[in-house]
Structure 1
Amino acid sequence: MMEKWTQRLEGWRFKACADKEWLPAQVPGCVHTDLLRNGTIPDPFYGTNERELQWIDKQDWEYEAHFLIRPEAAALQHLELVCEGLDTYADVSVNDVLVFSGDNMFRTWRNDIKSLLKVGDNVIHIRFRSPIQEDLPKLEKLGYGLPASNDQSELGGLDDRKLSVFARKAPYHYGWDWGPRLVTSGIWREIRLEGWAVSRILDLFIRQDEVNAKEARLTAQVEIEAAEAGPVLLRLTADGQDWSSKVELKQGRQTLELPLTITEPKLWWCRGLGEQAMVEFRAELLWGEQPIAEQSVRTGLRSIRLVREKDEQGASFYFELNGTPVFAKGANHIPNDSFITEVTAERYRHEVASAAASNMNMLRVWGGGIYEEDVFYELCDEYGILVWQDFMFACSMYPGDEVFLNSVRLEAEDNVRRLRNHPCIALWCGNNEIDSAWAHYNESGGWGWKKNYTPEQRERIWADYEAIFHRVLPEVVERLAPGSDYWPSSPMIDLTGDAGQHAHPASTEGDIHYWGVWHAVEPFENYNVYVGRFMSEYGFQSFPEYRSVRSYAEEHELELESEPMLAHQKNGAGNRLIKQYMDMYLHEPKDFKAFLHMSQILQADAMEMAIEAHRRSKPYCMGTLYWQMNDCWPVASWAGMDYYGRWKALQYRAKRSFSDILLSVAGHNQGTVSFHVINDTLQNVTGKLNVSVRHILGGTVKELEQEIQIKPNGNETVLTLAVEELLGGKKTAEHMLVARLENERGETKAVREHYFTAIKEMILPVPRIECLESGEGEEWTLTLKSDVLARHVWLSAEHDGIFTDNDFDLVPGVPKTVGFLTFGGESSYFRPQAPGRVTFRSITDYIKQTAVQP
């Protein structure tokens, strides 16, 4: 019988070290959430409460729990304390004896404590030292501050003393331009005891040496800890096969390797290209016939690589999965909450299922948050969402002393080991934006950081950077996940050691973050100009919907300059920029509620233009990841889904623009309109393109058809027409194009409306929209039809869920049918259901204009 025993430690209490009264605590959790549950502090997300809670991170806090050890557990040879996540500076004692002092939020801490335990009652005590008080002396010792643009030190009462860079702790806890400054402490992952006797399997890694449709050649790497030396049988089973090897264990830790071959394996594919086949591998150690240890892992068999090859235009940057080039479609992911332990498995599923439902195939886990929980990566495996995984460094320069570097190395080892079996992991990336922000080899480049330092300080800061991102992290990836690709920084051109290393918007190599639209107030049309090989960041802000805003602001506070609205806009110029761009592109909103929704239309317009410009440039451009997928609190931000998981207009528009078969229409300054079909599937697309010119009050002016055939994974401009030829002198503001793509069976695969004039220049008629509901429950549908053009029709439901389409235009006389999907299905997260009462509006209900009647 296997001698293995685990016990989760529960029944925690906490208090400030200076206080006498203990309060009940929830573990996993943190000080802020425990204080909130005990009614000691107000909701940190409401109004301006964030400002009033900055005292919390200046204090030391302690947690304590009693636990029982029974005689049978005490008899085991080893009893280990496992702390999966301590945030951050923690002194851990058992029965009044210090076991260890933790200093890294991202590490797992293991210590054998058998000698400290007794049969009966035992106590564990954890003192969390204030990250502020802990790191102030480090800043003083260094003698100068390090750049950390998003560290909201002033809000924390620290003036310009940026401390986030010294702590191996989630950077966004110190504030970001979309998140609050709430510097937490606490037990954020499980604490347990593990007991064992003879031997145990510490880790099982299925190294994928060569994988294709014919054969998967693998190596099982089994890390074992043996209490005694001796002969054992190592057996691996998977997919109805088994492999075994007789081995002689040594006392202590060792890694055994067992070669495995699976013929004609079922491959794991990302969403849109095939099945997400998973295989469970089980390793056992047997002493004779007696099993003494076992461990299982699930993985998907696939080959994936980052392809960077020189070409006539520069160098490629794309992911090749199972020999197939993949156009990456998706967004950047941030933590789903400022308080990480509030993120349930259901919330993770909502995000990943929403990504898949939006036709995405990649999420970038951005480097200012956390290495996410296991369930996040399991869901990405399940839904076929590739993961670009940053290490947790962003927008700052970091120290490079021996203690810090060693902590980084151990952190990287823990997390690469934990995540390396997930087939979704496509890339390990060292950091977010640091290479381009510092721009060491370009004196006039970067964010202006270098000018604040002497030449000697610059060289030291850059040497520390290189130690982390060019030496420590790539060495860990190569050693623990051989064959995996590592990219030092995003964005970046290449590791050249000269000015050619640093990315810029016109780069023809590497990946690009393009922020000319938004930060530099460049026009949306520049998304058509600055198209790189892989667009890993770009974005535009909007507000969440009215009911989400009301969760942090009262009705009388709904104005751009109110204190709560400013507190929930972390980008200093954000509200002004939204209004400035709205003045450029949209009609004037009739009131503040209308302004909230029209900001979402504006955001969706921007991102649609960017996404489709990138996709029309395939295969020159092979990836588009907008900023950002989600929010960590209710806020005005770049997210396509707000904190409550409610889809903004952007999420619906991204779903259409990320379609595996995309019909995209582009107008050009030279007076032409071009029609593009992008095919991300592995099948031919054949059929016909129907193009009609229609009046916005109804009626067809002109119609034509074109046969089309698009090869697998292809992109073609199938038709280009002159506007004058289409309109024959008729008014551009009164006419529109409707393009429809049909397959050989006459089934509609894509529809796209196109306008000759910007919406702001159109005098929009007030539509009369007819709605017909039919069916009940899963059979419910809503069919809408308008007498005249109705732009940006928005549906709202009584129940939580999403419509199958939203923020769409109604062509005069053409019916549009939608369904409704609610959340929480087990076999399928989104499932059809009746939405309850439905309301709808078009843009004419939001704008202040003298609308004309048809």
Structure 2
Amino acid sequence: MKDVVQLTEGWQLSHDGTLLEARVPGCVHSDLLTAGIIPDPFIGTHEKDVAWVGRQPWTYQRPLSYEESAASGHERTDLVFDGLDTAARITLDGVELGRTRNQHRSYRFDVTGRSGALDVTFTSAYEEAEAVRRLTGDRPNVYPEPFQYIRKMAANFGWDWGPTVVTAGIWRPVRLERWSTARLARVRPLVTVDGTRGRVELRVDLERTAAGTDRPLLAQATVAGVTARAEVGGDEATVVLDVPDVRLWWPRGHGEQPLYELELTLLDGDAPLDTWQRRIGFRTVELDRSADEHGTGFTFVVNGERIFVRGVNWIPDDVLPSRVTSERYRHRLEQTAAAHVDLVRVWGGGIYEDEAFYDTCDELGLMVWQDFLFACAAYPEEQPLRGEIEAEARENVVRLMPHPSLVLWNGNNENLWGFRDWDWEQPLAGDSWGEGYYLGVLPRVVAELDPTRAYSAGSPWSGSWDHHPNDPDHGTHHSWEAWNRRDFTEYLADVPRFVAEFGWQAPPALATLRRALPGEKLAPDSPGMLHHQKAEDGNGKLNRGVARHFALPEGDFDRWHYLTQVVQARAVATGIEHWRAHWPRCAGTVVWQINDCWPVSSWSAIDGDGRLKPLHHELRRVYADRLLTFQQGPDGPELTLSNLGAEPWTTDVTLRLLRTDGTLSARVSLGLTVPAREVLRLPVPPEVRPADGATKEYLVADSEELRAVHLPVPDKEFAYPQPRFDIAVETVGGDPDTVDVEVISHTLVRDLLLQADRVAPHATADRGLVTLLPGERTRIRVRGAAGVGANAIRAALFCVEPA
């Protein structure tokens, strides 16, 4: 049987002639931080102080003894690196084993019976990228960094939400594998289902030793109590398992997520040589891109059911990705799922994530849209990149294809759009820019290796060059004009077939800012705030976004911070509410973005320290199965009920026309039923419709725990009363760490927000923005707030005030 020895101990990192203890898996920055040689690049402006690290060569070393490399009763010992970041030369006892230039691949070297100093020397990623650029020539790029010339996480070179921290290191596990006769080199499970009958077709590739070349072997597979065998005469075999009565894997909100253990054993007679295990799920996934009267659709169909996607975009959760543990993946993805998300798009400027990410998505029912790793640049198609890219694609398609959560392979992020709209054509002058990857290499690799899944050439992409790549009527659409140049009300102007990116910025939580900017007097334009704002004119866009709806506070950072959170939540909600109301024409939204890789002002719903912004709570509301909103119809506001649940929704809706002084002008009650997976839109009855331009009356709809509010004018024109409310704080049960905050309103209180981290850095609240009518009360549960009194709670409460 194959023997595996993990090589996690005994590594050192050379620095200025000295040796530091190195953690493997890890990276140079982590080790320098541990040794106290560099400051934390996340704090203050220290990002600038550590820039030199990414421009130096670095060597990891450890002794490899004969006892470790000896086959120990086996014929062969391989040294296996699951990930090297990025351009490395590996030597053993001074003899070169090989060179690497791709962070996204694994590497294997025969070290049977060899010993001595094992050195892994990394060239600066900048030096490698510049060497490739000299070979291929310049290509356009939206950032002044050479990330398209090296197969490395592009986000390490900085982004409009990320720092420039260019890493190097042994970032994934390294081990010795000792084996004889043959090993399982590649296993591809093609999982299909017809009704309740599942089928697993295992395509198996072997590597043999010289002594095992002609030896007849057996491949035996087992799943759900079914076992099958196939003889292996050469280097390939296919094992087919037909599994009766399988339970279907469903996205969250649509059913359960049963997973089945699949095990493959390579046998020499009755003696096992190697094993391979994965968990699989049985489901069908199709992508309906058929033409209709609105253009070209983009609808996910899982197990025959058409799905409105409630999605988010995912970036690497740390700019030093080797620090992201399986526990951290689970926590972040559980936070994601708690917002009623059912799809996570792994963005193309990051990494193919660790197995723990996809395992957790399998368990939570989070569909995964996986980008191939190309983003926002023209990529040369010449060598040495072309061969690296195909090898990278082949390896990662095979690695990830067992996961039932994986539903789509996507060729790139915004590069097809960039070629058309970002002034690339003239400087390229006919040079390659990546089209051959997105329309040639990648679809060919997916069709050959993983034909059970759909492939899309890019996001956005209209399906062909017959339409503009970002045409909202065809395929996927990225909606960025609202944030960049206009207002979030612009989302109401069109109905894209599938919104794969849109979003709005806000700063991180105050406690996150205080940790990241210690001692700084916070202001929107204070030095640390500006350094932790990477978007072009980011603060200008934040301020304009607030000013379009509220009076922009001058000299009041706390108020500015609150209003930017309100506008972020309202902006994203406006888009989702509108596009959900047009299901099935619009078949999904994927918010940019769910997470951050450091503490920064960004589009995230969860900030760089893992704290939930108000946007996260708002996503939980607008992505819930049942959603009550007002939408603008041809003749005025329409009451809109969206039901994404599997059962009809029967409810009583109360509509009230109210005045700002608290008096009731009119009231209507409606008994309504919305079929499963459908939308109901009704004109608001005239008697409760506020007059156009009215500044002192508003419309409220209530159904069960759901509420929608309609103002006939923008907030800054509305005559909000001065908010008045009382609060009471009481401990929950016998837990001094948990309190309930009761808020009793005496006026209209709009978008009340308790920012719990202002009470205590680790405190959390279970509610986001809440609107209360005169005389109403609500309870907000706060955890991590031991000993907190009413004054501290009141200081952390904010709401909309009169302009």
Report the counterpart of residue 754 of structure 2 in structure 1: 795
- Superposition pairs for residues 451-850 of structure 1, below 5 Å? 451=426, 453=427, 457-462=428-433, 465-496=434-465, 498=466, 500-504=467-471, 507-520=472-485, 522-589=486-553, 591-667=556-632, 670=635, 672-722=636-686, 725-726=687-688, 732-741=694-703, 748=704, 750-761=706-717, 762-771=719-728, 773=730, 775-776=732-733, 781-797=740-756, 798=760, 800=762, 802-819=764-781, 840=793, 845=798
Report the counterpart of residue 422 of structure 2 in structure 1: 447
**Is 1:48 matched up with 2:45?**
yes
- Paired letter, 1:579: N
**1:508-558 deviation digits (Å, cap 9, x = unpaired):** 1111001111112x1221101132000001111111122211223245442
Q: Tell me, in whole angstroms, the C-alpha distance in 2 between the residues paired with 1:728 and 1:373.
A: 53
TM-score (norm 2): 0.93
SS at match of 2:77: strand
TM-superposed deviation, 1:124: 1.2
TM-superposed deviation, 1:686: 1.9
- Superposition pairs for residues 56-135 of structure 1, below 5 Å? 56-70=53-67, 73-117=71-115, 122-135=116-129
**Is 1:316 matched up with 2:266?**
no
Kindly indicate whether the alpha-carbon contact (under 8 Å) linking 2:755 and 2:797 is maintained by their aligned counterparts in 1.
no
Kindly indicate whether the alpha-carbon contact (under 8 Å) linking 2:721 and 2:801 is maintained by their aligned counterparts in 1.
no
SS at match of 2:429: helix
Match among 127, 139, 143 for residue 133 of structure 2: 139
SS at match of 1:90: strand
- Superposition pairs for residues 214-253 of structure 1, below 5 Å? 214-227=196-209, 228=212, 229-245=214-230, 247-250=231-234
Q: Tell me, in whole angstroms, the C-alpha distance in 1 between the residues paired with 2:104 and 2:691.
A: 65
TM-superposed deviation, 1:692: 2.1
Q: Tell me, in whole angstroms, the C-alpha distance in 2 between the residues paired with 1:582 and 1:731.
A: 21
TM-score (norm 1): 0.88
Seen in structure 2, the aligned counterparts of structure 1 residues 181 and 219 have a Cα distance that, compared at 3 Å, is: same
- Superposition pairs for residues 157-306 of structure 1, below 5 Å? 163-209=146-192, 211-227=193-209, 228=212, 229-245=214-230, 247-250=231-234, 254-306=235-287
TM-superposed deviation, 1:840: 4.5
TM-superposed deviation, 1:668: 5.5
**1:343-363 deviation digits (Å, cap 9, x = unpaired):** 222321222111111011011
Kindly indicate whether the alpha-carbon contact (under 8 Å) linking 2:497 and 2:586 is maintained by their aligned counterparts in 1.
yes
Q: Tell me, in whole angstroms, the C-alpha distance in 1 between the residues paired with 2:3 and 2:381.
A: 40
Kindly indicate whether the alpha-carbon contact (under 8 Å) linking 1:780 and 1:819 is maintained by their aligned counterparts in 2.
yes
Count of matched residue positions in the alignment of Structure 1 and Structure 2: 791
Q: Tell me, in whole angstroms, the C-alpha distance in 1 between the residues paired with 2:789 and 2:175.
A: 48
- Paired letter, 2:134: E
- Paired letter, 2:474: E
**1:724-761 deviation digits (Å, cap 9, x = unpaired):** x32676994333333222xxxxxx25332333333222
Q: Tell me, in whole angstroms, the C-alpha distance in 2 between the residues paired with 1:180 and 1:77.
A: 47
Note the residue ranges of structure 2 that are not aligned, 5 or more in a row.
none
Seen in structure 2, the aligned counterparts of structure 1 residues 696 and 240 have a Cα distance that, compared at 3 Å, is: farther
Seen in structure 2, the aligned counterparts of structure 1 residues 361 and 728 have a Cα distance that, compared at 3 Å, is: closer
- Paired letter, 1:360: V
**1:67-95 deviation digits (Å, cap 9, x = unpaired):** 44538744321101111111111001122
Seen in structure 2, the aligned counterparts of structure 1 residues 84 and 511 have a Cα distance that, compared at 3 Å, is: same
Q: Tell me, in whole angstroms, the C-alpha distance in 1 between the residues paired with 2:308 and 2:250.
A: 13
Q: Tell me, in whole angstroms, the C-alpha distance in 2 between the residues paired with 1:51 and 1:772.
A: 45
Question: What value does the CA root-mean-square deviation take over the aligned residues?
Answer: 2.5
Seen in structure 2, the aligned counterparts of structure 1 residues 370 and 248 have a Cα distance that, compared at 3 Å, is: closer
**1:309-366 deviation digits (Å, cap 9, x = unpaired):** 0111112111000000111112111111111112222321222111111011011111
SS at match of 1:367: coil
Kindly indicate whether the alpha-carbon contact (under 8 Å) linking 1:178 and 1:570 is maintained by their aligned counterparts in 2.
yes
**Is 1:391 matched up with 2:375?**
no
SS at match of 2:300: strand
Seen in structure 2, the aligned counterparts of structure 1 residues 392 and 602 have a Cα distance that, compared at 3 Å, is: same
Kindly indicate whether the alpha-carbon contact (under 8 Å) linking 1:557 and 1:564 is maintained by their aligned counterparts in 2.
no
Report the counterpart of residue 159 of structure 1 in structure 2: none
Kindly indicate whether the alpha-carbon contact (under 8 Å) linking 1:205 and 1:421 is maintained by their aligned counterparts in 2.
yes
**Is 1:11 matched up with 2:10?**
yes
Kindly indicate whether the alpha-carbon contact (under 8 Å) linking 2:767 and 2:780 is maintained by their aligned counterparts in 1.
yes
Q: Tell me, in whole angstroms, the C-alpha distance in 2 between the residues paired with 1:609 and 1:818.
A: 24
**1:486-529 deviation digits (Å, cap 9, x = unpaired):** 11111011124x5x25223xx31111001111112x12211011
Q: Tell me, in whole angstroms, the C-alpha distance in 2 between the residues paired with 1:730 and 1:20.
A: 75
Kindly indicate whether the alpha-carbon contact (under 8 Å) linking 2:732 and 2:740 is maintained by their aligned counterparts in 1.
yes
- More displaced 10-residue stretch of structure 1: 410-419 or 695-704: 695-704
- More displaced 10-residue stretch of structure 1: 811-820 or 484-493: 811-820
Seen in structure 2, the aligned counterparts of structure 1 residues 604 and 486 have a Cα distance that, compared at 3 Å, is: same
- Paired letter, 2:3: K
Q: Tell me, in whole angstroms, the C-alpha distance in 1 between the residues paired with 2:3 and 2:189.
A: 23
Q: Tell me, in whole angstroms, the C-alpha distance in 1 between the residues paired with 2:321 and 2:611.
A: 19
- More displaced 10-residue stretch of structure 1: 98-107 or 44-53: 44-53
Kindly indicate whether the alpha-carbon contact (under 8 Å) linking 1:766 and 1:844 is maintained by their aligned counterparts in 2.
no
- More displaced 10-residue stretch of structure 1: 657-666 or 748-757: 748-757
Seen in structure 2, the aligned counterparts of structure 1 residues 134 and 290 have a Cα distance that, compared at 3 Å, is: closer
Q: Tell me, in whole angstroms, the C-alpha distance in 1 between the residues paired with 2:179 and 2:797.
A: 69
Report the counterpart of residue 405 of structure 1 in structure 2: 386
Q: Tell me, in whole angstroms, the C-alpha distance in 1 between the residues paired with 2:143 and 2:377.
A: 8
Q: Tell me, in whole angstroms, the C-alpha distance in 2 between the residues paired with 1:390 and 1:466.
A: 15
TM-superposed deviation, 1:146: 1.1
Kindly indicate whether the alpha-carbon contact (under 8 Å) linking 1:395 and 1:437 is maintained by their aligned counterparts in 2.
yes
Q: Tell me, in whole angstroms, the C-alpha distance in 1 between the residues paired with 2:693 and 2:380.
A: 63
Kindly indicate whether the alpha-carbon contact (under 8 Å) linking 1:794 and 1:842 is maintained by their aligned counterparts in 2.
no
- Paired letter, 1:586: F
Seen in structure 2, the aligned counterparts of structure 1 residues 781 and 123 have a Cα distance that, compared at 3 Å, is: same
**1:377-406 deviation digits (Å, cap 9, x = unpaired):** 111111111111101110000111132110
Q: Tell me, in whole angstroms, the C-alpha distance in 2 between the residues paired with 1:187 and 1:7.
A: 13
**1:108-153 deviation digits (Å, cap 9, x = unpaired):** 0011111424xxxx4310110112222323333445x2111124x4
TM-superposed deviation, 1:559: 2.3
Q: Tell me, in whole angstroms, the C-alpha distance in 2 between the residues paired with 1:848 and 1:704.
A: 29
- Paired letter, 1:706: L
Kindly indicate whether the alpha-carbon contact (under 8 Å) linking 2:460 and 2:500 is maintained by their aligned counterparts in 1.
yes
TM-superposed deviation, 1:170: 0.7
Q: Tell me, in whole angstroms, the C-alpha distance in 1 between the residues paired with 2:325 and 2:382.
A: 37
SS at match of 1:405: helix
SS at match of 1:793: strand
Q: Tell me, in whole angstroms, the C-alpha distance in 2 between the residues paired with 1:642 and 1:422.
A: 28
Note the residue ranges of structure 1 that are not aligned, 5 or more in a row.
154-162, 440-445, 742-747, 823-832
- Paired letter, 1:64: Q
